[in-house]
Amino acid sequence: MTDFVTVAKVEDIPPGTGHTVEVRGIWIALFNVDGSFYAIDNTCPHAGGPLGEGHLDGCMVECPWHGWRFNVQTGKRSENPAITVTCCPVRIENNQVQVALPEGFK
């Protein structure tokens, strides 16, 4: 069974923005894309940049360190879809944003 953790209220993360949250000791980048929430690993695979601090343009986030871009819905890098970041399940319960870590994610 997937254990969801409450990480924010819906109104804490306005559409078009991202935020970094901690889920069971792991930093996750949480984004609001037009009212839909997505969560990915906060660490860019290029050099460890904080994706949650990146610029969100539609469903694409740009790492603030070196500009690598990832689709927050799929975790795929736009310039090379073979490079990905882990996506995490997200749900909304009673206006609370909840995130779960995928099996085996560290």
Q: Give the pLDDT confidence of 22-57 residue by residue, as tens digits.
A: 998 999 999 999 999 999 999 999 999 999 999 999
Q: Tell how strand 26-33 and strand 17-23 pair up.
A: antiparallel
Check if the beta carbon of residue 70 is closer than 8 Å to that of residue 79: no
Domain that holds residue 23: 4-100
The CATH number linked to 34 is: 2.102.10.10
Tokens at 93, concatenated: 């319960």
Q: Could you give the 3-state DSSP secondary structure of residue 62?
A: strand
Task: Give the C-alpha separation, 44 to 63, whole Å.
Answer: 7
pTM of the model: 0.94
Is 106 domain-assigned? no
DSSP state for residue 10 in the 8-state scheme: G
Domain count, the chain: 1
Amino acid at 82: A
